[in-house]
């Protein structure tokens, strides 16, 4: 069902790239192991390295030091320099003369191990340590990119508007920067699952900084306006990879057509709510795991437009091509996104699809 | 040289002889044209006494049939020469499967020559499949007759012998099972013949594997019998067939036809999928990279392995259940 729809829509959208994306979607995806900083980090990292996995976040940043600074990509990036803060000593060495390093513009402390290009090994399931805490969380490594790009700073108030199943929420907590994290999901059952995830990964003391709710995210503008430094809006979508592989409860089922058609509207309302919940100057990341332009760029464009017209809020959409260049060894990015970035499934790096776009609410 | 110590007690000539055989053999295999005494020139009509001595020595070293009369051995050697074998080739013939007597050797070789092989091919066949020497002339003749009846007539028969000599040593039941399987799969007799002529290797494969390959092409790929035969389906291994077909299928370039035999895209021809090099397949058909295909192969192999494991697990648990039931009874 989903596949026929994709062949028609994505065939037109991606042209000659579509077959290679298609075979990626239909073949086993790759995972990343998000290291749990609340467990024995050293031992866990060592175990993962002994499997021949590498921390792609660390490796990418290391490689980024060698990215030529005169590239046009970098010039675009330097216009939107984030305040220079030194959190990662290792990477701050060369900071003086060069433009700001990536370490100052991505969320810190996130470690995620993946197998290199073309390596199809799998991670064994994580086992609990003596205190019952699990050492790593397996997820599509591309789903960390929205969290990395959110650039959480120490002391930030953070909102995760559509938090379940919890991989991104957990990653936000790994930064160790959230003064308060509000994690919400409209479905109560999904929130209770999210709670279980947090219980297995996060000590009680840290968990108490997390507020779990199951409200309708679309209303956040009325609930907590102008409140958060950082907002993650990881919306419900056609979950493309899941939809081609699983028949059960498939969003492309005839009976869910209406719901599917309403998705872009729902997504736009959620993004708008996220923008309203952000403080002026605050940053919002919109993300989906769909390839559909209609659910990605179009939603961002409409939301920015509506924020301006209806709420007189001006929103700046950030250029992420520098971010893309840093992570392009690990992921296969689509080169022609109008706004934001899109990770394409590809047999040799079978992550994604993952779309993400960063917006800054102007003062 | 390994047999040295034992052979030494048997034959006093060994020390010099062994070296002679060794040196000579290495020269033959190197294709050297130097003439060391008993190595005859091609226009020399027959062997000389030195060949006889050398063959005796081989037999002595092998500790087999060493007590054969020189006159008998000479007759055998004469026959080989008359059939066109060079002295070097005769030495090769005697180095194969020492346990068979010179006369048996002669009979088999004779039969192969009668089947239309030249001395070079005969030697090659015996080197590749020394077990052919175990056959009697009658068995070989009978097998040839049976293969002819299956449509492997002159020309084809020699090709089969050269490429797949073991087809002559297989139990007939095995060959019959393959042929019957093709008939059960509703290939007309003429097509079975065509398959045997173009892909004689099928006779060496397991009937159930061939049947699975047929079913895969018929049901999964929607290929009819005639196209399978014309495209040489049975020449490609099942694993590689699946690799290429499923690769194309997931790329969106191949579809299983529906009940009416229709597809929404035009499928490529079977021939274009299986009868091209991997390089051309990737460049012209799949429009994909070698890197992607390599990863795909690995992934598919793992998928299949895990499917198989799941299936056998299910069957295991079924039979477990039966055991339990019988225990209760």
Query: How many angstroms separate the CA atoms of B98 and B121, rounded?
Result: 20
Residue A68 is predicted with a pLDDT of 55
Pairing of strands A156-160, A178-184: parallel
pLDDT of B169 above 70: yes
Chain A residues touching B247 at Cβ < 8 A: 23
Say if B232 falls within a structural domain: no
Was A164 annotated as part of a binding site? Answer: yes
Q: What angle do CA B202, B204, B207 make, to 5 degrees?
A: 65
Residue with tokens 């467990």: A39
| Domain assignment of residue B161, yes or no | yes
> What is the predicted pLDDT for the residue at B49?
77
Domain A2-361 belongs to what topology?
Rossmann fold (3.40.50)
pLDDT at A257 over 80: yes
Mean pLDDT of all residues in chain B?
A: 82
Which one of B123, B152, B169 terminates a domain?
Answer: B169
- A110-137 pLDDT per residue, tens: 999 999 999 999 999 998 888 889 999 9
Of A112, A177, A178, A289, the active-site residue reads A289
- Residue B250: closest CA among A122, A240, A142, A347: A347
Stronger pLDDT, B66 or B24, i.e. the higher one: B66
For residue A330, what are the CA distances in angstroms to A58, A73, A119, B74? 11, 18, 12, 75
pLDDT of residue B55: 82
Q: Which of B252, B291, B299 is the closest to A22 by Cβ?
A: B252
Q: Output the average pLDDT for chain A.
A: 90
Residues B64, B9 share a domain: yes
Is position B244 within any domain? no
Q: Residue A130 phi/psi, 5° resolution?
A: -60, -35
Residues B11 and B88 in one domain: yes
pLDDT at B62: 72
Is there a contact between A238 and A293 (Cβ–Cβ < 8 Å)? no
pLDDT of residue A191: 96
Taking residues A20-38, report their average pLDDT.
97
Interface touch B292/A16, C-beta < 8 Å: no
| Inter-chain CB proximity A20 and B251 less than 8 Å | yes
Same domain, B89 and B108: no
- B107-116, B139-148, B317-326: range with lowest mean pLDDT: B317-326
Q: For residue B220, tell me if it sits in a domain.
A: no
Which of B245, B291, B295 has the most A C-beta neighbours within 10 Å, making it the best mutation to test the interface with A?
Answer: B295
Report whether pLDDT(B27) > 60.
no
Q: Report which of residues B312 and A219 the model is more confident about.
A: A219
The per-residue pLDDT for range B56-74, each reduced to its tens digit, is 777 777 766 767 778 888 8
B90 or B63, greater pLDDT: B90
Q: Which domain holds residue B134?
A: 100-169
Same domain, yes or no: B138 and B116: yes
Averaged pLDDT for residues A144-152? 97
The listed range with the strongest mean pLDDT (A62-76, B35-49, B70-84, B190-204) is B190-204
pLDDT of B130 > 80? The answer is: yes
Asked if the Cβ–Cβ distance from B299 to A347 is below 8 Å, we say yes
Cis peptide before A165 (omega within 30 of 0): yes
Inside any domain, residue B88? yes
The CA-atom distances, in angstroms, between B308 and each of B300, B301, B302, B313, B314 are 12, 11, 10, 8, 10
Q: Mark out the alpha helices in chain B (DSSP H runs).
A: 4-10, 14-29, 49-62, 70-83, 87-95, 102-114, 119-128, 137-149, 156-163, 172-184, 189-198, 207-215, 225-231, 238-251, 270-274, 278-280, 290-328
Count residue pairs from A and B with Cβ separation < 8 A.
45
**Cα–Cα distance between A142 and A290 in angstroms, integer?**
12
Query: Which residues of A sit within 8 Å Cβ distance of B?
Result: 7, 11, 16, 18-20, 22-23, 26-28, 118, 120, 346-348
Domain ranges of chain A: 2-361
Most confident among A38-52, B26-40, B303-317 (mean pLDDT)? A38-52
Residue B296 is assigned to a structural domain of this protein: no
Selected for mutation to probe chain B from A12, A121, A347, A348 (highest B CB count within 10 Å) is A347
Residue B47 maps to a domain:
yes
For residue B26, pLDDT over 50 is answered with no
A289 is catalytic: yes
Provide the pLDDT confidence category of residue B52 given band limits of 50, 70 and 90: confident
Model confidence band, residue A363 (pLDDT cutoffs 50, 70, 90): confident
Q: Which residue has the higher pLDDT, A300 or B59?
A: A300
- Predicted pLDDT of residue B247: 98
* pLDDT of res. B318: 58
Q: pLDDT-derived band of residue A104, with 50, 70 and 90 as boundaries?
A: low
**Residue with the larger pLDDT of the pair B30 and A110:** A110
Average pLDDT over residues B277-296: 97
Angle, helices B238-251/B207-215, rounded to nearest 10 degrees: 20
Task: Give the pLDDT score at A64.
Answer: 77
Whether residue B85 is found in the same domain as residue B4:
yes
Q: pLDDT tier at B279 (50, 70, 90 boundaries)? A: very high
B80 and B142, same domain (yes or no): no
Q: Is A116 exposed, middle or buried (0-12, 13-18, 19+ CB in 10 A)?
A: middle
Q: Which residues of A touch B301 (CB under 8 A)?
A: none
CA–CA min distance A180, chain B (Å):
42
Q: Is residue B128 part of a domain?
A: yes
Q: Across residues A47-74, what is the average pLDDT?
A: 79
Q: Using the structure block, give the residue that is written with the tokens 């789903």.
A: A143
> Does A347 have pLDDT greater than 80?
yes
- How many domains are there within chain B? 2
Smallest CA–CA distance, residue A63 to chain B, in Å, is 23
Q: Is the pLDDT of residue A54 over 60?
A: yes
Proportion of chain B above pLDDT 90, given as a percent: 57
Nearest Cα residue in chain A from B285: A19
Annotated ligand binding at A163? The verdict is yes
User: Is the pLDDT at A84 greater than 90, yes or no?
Assistant: no
pLDDT of residue A83: 44
Interface mutation target, options B250, B255, B297, chain A, most CBs of A under 10 Å:
B250
**pLDDT value at B249 more than 80:** yes
Which pLDDT score, from 0 to 100, does residue B47 have? Answer: 55
Range of weakest confidence among A118-122, B161-165, B220-224, B311-315: B311-315
**Inter-chain contact A23–B250, Cβ cutoff 8 Å?**
yes
Of A82-96, B123-137, B175-189, B212-226, least confident by mean pLDDT is A82-96
Local confidence band at B32 (pLDDT 50, 70, 90 cut-offs): very low
């Amino acid at each position: 069902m989903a596949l026929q729809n994709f062949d028609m829509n994505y065939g037109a959208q991606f042209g000659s790239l579509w077959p290679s994306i298609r075979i990626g979607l239909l073949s086993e995806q790759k995972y990343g192991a998000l290291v749990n900083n609340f467990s024995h980090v050293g031992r866990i990292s060592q175990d993962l390295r002994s499997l021949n996995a590498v921390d792609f976040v660390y490796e990418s940043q290391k490689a980024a030091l060698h990215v030529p600074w005169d590239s046009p990509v970098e010039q675009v990036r330097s216009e939107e320099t984030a305040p220079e803060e030194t959190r990662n000593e290792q990477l701050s060495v060369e900071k003086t003369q060069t433009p700001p390093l990536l370490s100052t513009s991505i969320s810190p402390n996130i470690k995620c191990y993946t197998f290199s290009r073309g390596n199809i090994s799998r991670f064994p399931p994580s086992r609990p340590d003596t205190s019952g805490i699990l050492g790593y969380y397996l997820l599509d490594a591309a789903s960390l990119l929205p969290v990395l790009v959110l650039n959480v700073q120490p002391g930030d108030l953070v909102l995760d508007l559509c938090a379940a199943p919890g991989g991104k929420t957990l990653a936000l907590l790994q930064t160790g920067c959230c003064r308060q994290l509000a994690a919400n999901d409209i479905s109560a059952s999904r929130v209770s699952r999210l709670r279980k995830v947090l219980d297995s990964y996060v000590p009680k003391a840290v968990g108490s900084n997390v507020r779990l709710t199951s409200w309708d995210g679309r209303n956040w503008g009325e609930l907590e306006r102008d409140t958060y430094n950082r907002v993650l809006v990881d919306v419900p979508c056609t979950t493309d990879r899941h939809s081609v592989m699983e028949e059960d409860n498939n969003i492309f089922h005839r009976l869910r057509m209406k719901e599917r058609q309403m998705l872009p509207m729902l997504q736009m309302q959620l993004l708008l709510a996220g923008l309203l919940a952000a403080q002026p100057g605050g940053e919002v990341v919109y993300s989906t795991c769909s390839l559909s332009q209609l659910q990605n760029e179009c939603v961002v464009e409409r939301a920015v437009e509506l924020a301006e017209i209806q709420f007189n809020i001006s929103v700046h959409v950030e250029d992420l091509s520098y971010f893309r260049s840093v992570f392009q060894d690990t992921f296969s990015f689509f080169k022609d996104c109008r706004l934001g970035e899109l990770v394409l499934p590809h047999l040799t790096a079978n992550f994604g699809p993952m779309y993400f776009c960063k917006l800054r609410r102007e003062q | 040289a390994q047999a040295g110590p034992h052979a030494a007690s048997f034959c006093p000539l060994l020390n010099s002889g062994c070296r002679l055989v060794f040196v000579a053999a290495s020269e033959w295999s190197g294709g050297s044209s130097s003439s060391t005494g008993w190595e005859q020139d091609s226009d020399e009509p027959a062997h000389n006494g030195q060949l006889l001595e050398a063959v005796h020595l081989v037999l002595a070293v092998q500790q087999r049939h060493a007590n054969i009369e020189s006159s008998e051995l000479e007759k055998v050697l004469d026959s080989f020469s008359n059939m066109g074998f060079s002295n070097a080739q005769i030495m090769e013939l005697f180095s194969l499967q020492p346990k068979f007597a010179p006369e048996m050797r002669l009979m088999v070789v004779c039969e192969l020559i009668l089947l239309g092989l030249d001395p070079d091919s005969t030697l090659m066949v015996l080197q590749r499949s020394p077990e052919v020497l175990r056959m009697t002339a009658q068995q070989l003749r009978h097998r040839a007759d049976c293969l002819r009846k299956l449509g492997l007539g002159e020309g084809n028969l020699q090709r089969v012998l050269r490429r797949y000599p073991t087809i002559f040593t297989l139990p007939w039941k095995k060959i019959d099972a393959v042929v019957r399987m093709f008939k059960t799969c509703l290939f007309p007799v003429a097509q079975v013949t065509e398959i045997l002529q173009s892909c004689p290797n099928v006779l060496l494969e397991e009937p159930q594997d061939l049947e699975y390959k047929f079913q895969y092409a018929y049901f999964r790929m929607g290929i009819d019998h005639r196209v399978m035969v014309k495209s040489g389906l049975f020449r490609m291994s099942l694993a590689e067939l699946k690799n290429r077909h499923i690769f194309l299928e997931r790329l969106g370039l191949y579809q299983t036809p529906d009940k009416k035999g229709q597809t929404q895209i035009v499928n490529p021809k079977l021939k274009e999928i299986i009868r091209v090099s991997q390089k051309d397949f990737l460049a012209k058909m799949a429009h994909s990279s070698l890197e992607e295909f390599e990863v795909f192969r690995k992934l598919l192999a793992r998928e299949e392995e895990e499917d198989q494991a799941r299936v056998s697990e299910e069957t295991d648990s079924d039979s477990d259940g039966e055991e339990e039931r019988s225990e209760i009874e």
